[in-house]
Amino acid sequence: EDKVVQSPLSLVVHEGDTVTLNCSYEVTNFRSLLWYKQEKKAPTFLFMLTSSGIEKKSGRLSSILDKKELFSILNITATQTGDSAVYLCAVENRDDKIIFGKGTRLHILP
Amino acid sequence: GAVVSQHPSRVICKSGTSVKIECRSLDFQATTMFWYRQFPKQSLMLMATSNEGSKATYEQGVEKDKFLINHASLTLSTLTVTSAHPEDSSFYICSAHQGWDEKLFFGSGTQLSVL
């Protein structure tokens, strides 16, 4: 059965800290892995990863995929209170299915 | 943990026909479900909020007569794309939350292709 597992489920850190969010998956016919930031009802797209070892970066956020070990990490450096959100990892397969993890709830303390 | 089931996962239809997509919460009651449309490498675009027992709330720019939403029970919401056209071809996803928690649980999506 296809599944996406995120860890930790919840994380509380102080502003300025660096955090690493984990996503492991078991999916047949993998196509891509996606990261989203969910603050309200509609998650905001962050990254799409298809190849191993190539880091994607956007400001203080970065992500990398390991297709051999079947996981991805999302790093956030110099965290700010505005980074508080639920971060979702999802995997698309070649059958046009998308499987979401349960998310990591990140809370940044001022 | 909370599971949301969405069917069908893929549908191909002719232009002018209507397509119904189901979204079910399998182990919890969802008074509110959300319907999204996703384009490749983009954020999920919220189309509407489906409320059990009442009319759905549509986002600006989404035609309510085109995308009919019915939330007849606490575990089922349906989205019907009426008189589908090729420009309606997209990936549609639903989500639900348990009410006491803002965390969303997502269906696996429906790839709609209109010929």
| Structure confidence by residue, pLDDT tens digits, A1-60 | 889 999 999 999 999 999 999 999 999 899 999 999 988 778 888 999 999 999 999 999
Q: Are strands B76-81 and B19-25 parallel, antiparallel or unpaired?
A: antiparallel
A43 reaches B (C-beta below 8 A): yes
How many angstroms separate the CA atoms of B48 and B36, rounded? 7
**Cβ atoms of A7 and A102 closer than 8 Å:** no
- Is A107 touching B (CB cutoff 8 A)? no
The string over B19-33, giving b where at least 16 C-beta atoms fall within 10 Å of a residue's C-beta and e elsewhere, is: bebbbbbeebebbbb
Whether omega before B86 lies within 30 degrees of 0, making that bond cis, reads no
Q: What is the pLDDT of residues B12-69, one digit of tens each?
A: 999 999 999 999 999 888 888 999 998 777 778 899 998 888 889 999 999 999 999 9
CA–CA gap between residue A103 and residue B70 (Å, rounded): 27
Residues of B in contact with A98 (CB under 8 A): 91, 93, 106, 108-109
Q: Judge whether B112 and B84 are in contact, CB under 8 Å.
A: yes
CB-CB contact of B74 with B30 (8 Å): yes
Which positions in chain B have a beta carbon within 8 angstroms of at least one beta carbon in chain A?
Answer: 1-2, 9-10, 34, 36, 41-46, 49, 91, 93, 102-106, 108-109, 111
Q: Nearest residue of A to residue B93 by CA position? A: A98
The Cα–Cα gap between B98 and A58 comes to 32
Q: Encoding tokens for residue B97?
A: 């939350």
Contact state of B111 with A96 under an 8 Å Cβ cutoff:
yes
Local structure of B88: helix, strand or coil: helix
> Rounded to whole angstroms, what are the CA distances from A9 to A5, B9, B58?
9, 27, 31
pLDDT for residue B112 is more than 80: yes
Chain A to chain B Cβ contacts (< 8 Å): 54
Shortest Cα–Cα distance, A78 to chain B (Å): 24
Distance of CA B30 to the CA centre of its chain: 14
pLDDT at A98 over 90: no
pLDDT of A57: 97
